[in-house]
Amino acid sequence: MRKAFSGIVSLSVRSFRVVATATAAAVFLAGATVASQAAANDAAIVIDANTGKTLYSSNANARRYPASLTKMMTLYLTFEALSKGKISKTTQVPFSANAAGEPPTKLGVRSGGSITVETAILSMVTKSANDSSTALAELLGGSEANFAKMMTAKARSLGMTNTVFRNAHGLPNPGQFTTARDMATLGMALREHHPQYYGYFAERSFMYGRQRINGHNRLLGRIKGVDGIKTGYTRASGFNLVSSVSIDGRKLVAVVMGGKSGASRDNEMARLINAYLPKASQRGGGALIARTDNDTASKAIARVSLPKHDAPTPDFKPGTDVEAVIASAAPVPARAPKPKLPVAMAAPEPADIPFAQAYSGPEPQQIDPVNTASLPSGWVVQVASSPSKSEAEAALDKTAAQARAVLASASGYTVPFRKGGVTYFRARFGGFETQTAALRACTALKKQRIECFAVQQ
């Protein structure tokens, strides 16, 4: 799958129709709770983090793709390793070619380079860096595949029975899924079990060398009492958000999954917090999530039988027909093979089809590297194209150095494509949140005599 994201390979596939249920309007009752009515394809939950009481629930046990919410578990295991003294904040995290090759959003560390554990943590909670996630996974698990087993094992031990992890970052994988309730459980576990590290989730930016990297969580600083936790987005998952609130003794953990846009997701979360925070208890009832620090990773993995094959997953955003979940520590029963897509034919540009369609062959390679990250925009700025990958990377380095202020929040990467039987490499900067931001960046580059153009992948 990783090769599928390292570049865009031309495919031509017959289109499939995906029918989405329209979002229902919020219902306001005078003198009653403001209950935001989620559409059948959306999921949300609000839990009183003092008592564990569910204050609001909509499709909370329905299967969803976690996207970058996956990094919450990667961070949980990182915090666990820190608390046990296996690593320290200054431990160097090496970047393999595998980690360095992850698509944006990423920190951009080259293969053979390294950063500290603390830098990796900060890059994940703010920039949602996919490369840092993989590098940490390889450091702690030996390999990303083994670390994914550790993640699923830890999920089971925390009571997250409806979650399976296949990677450390959340980029699309048909066998990786969760529920809003499980994500709320993980959010509470992070605060309860690792309070000494939980403050990282409140970071809105951090300095990486001379570059300030800003975060994606727009509710920090907007809603009083919000102190984290994580955003997530892929085309298949929609816009996801886990939020934690602590104010005047009241604590909430809320989850919204499957939002139509970043703004609508944030507004939905704000409505839920405003509606249910006054109903939360000011008195705690003790620990809500069982702690399993005494379990070694190997014992935990041995107790969990992961599905030998990817469990059936939904189209785009699943409905109630896929709300059945895999039983904890139990093999998945045999099932019929997934229907195959027509054989792909070569074409100048890739077709844009939903990743989550049933597909039993090689994973689609037309997923663009920015829209599968944690940002809501697929707009990028291209600065060069060369038959040499090293030349394309050199163009990225030169542009980044020449226009450091313009590209402060952007990530450089290369995309291979074939033309006339020759493989070329596009040098692009991604991470722009809107089309306007990409256009403005390109205009600023041109003023510095750097040729470029903005394009939506």
Q: Which residues are catalytic?
A: 68, 71, 128
229, 181, 183: which is closest to 203 by C-alpha?
Answer: 229
The response to whether 230 counts as a known ligand-binding position is yes
The number of beta carbons lying within 10 Å of the beta carbon of residue 245 is: 24
What is the 3-state secondary structure of the chain? Answer: CHHHHHCCCCCECCCCCCCCCCCCCCECCCCCCCECCCCCCCEEEEEECCCCCEEEEECCCCCECCHHHHHHHHHHHHHHHHHCCCCCCCCEEECCHHHHCCCCCCCCCCCCCEEEHHHHHHHHHCCCCHHHHHHHHHHHHCCHHHHHHHHHHHHHHCCCCCCECCCCCCCCCCCCEECHHHHHHHHHHHHHHCHHHHHHHHCCEEEECCEEEECCCCCCCCCCCEEEEEEEEECCCEEEEEEEEEECCEEEEEEEEEECCHHHHHHHHHHHHHHHHHHCCCCCCCCCCCCCCCCCHHHHHHHCCCCCCCCCCCCCCCCHHHCCCCCCCCCCCCCCCCCCCCCCECCCCCCCCCCCCCCCCCCCCCCCCCCCCCCCCCEEEEEEEECCHHHHHHHHHHHHHHCCCCCCCCEEEEEEEEECCEEEEEEEEECCCCHHHHHHHHHHHHHCCCCCEEEEC
* Residue whose entry in the numeric block shows the structure tokens 């792909």: 344
Contact (CB, 8 A) for 167 and 145: no
Question: From CA 402, how far away is CA 384, in angstroms rounded?
Answer: 14
Question: From CA 258, how far away is CA 241, in angstroms rounded?
Answer: 9
> Which residues, at least 6 apart from 421, have a Cβ–Cβ distance to it below 8 Å?
none
Contact (CB, 8 A) for 95 and 114: yes
Sequence ranges of the binding site for substrate: 230
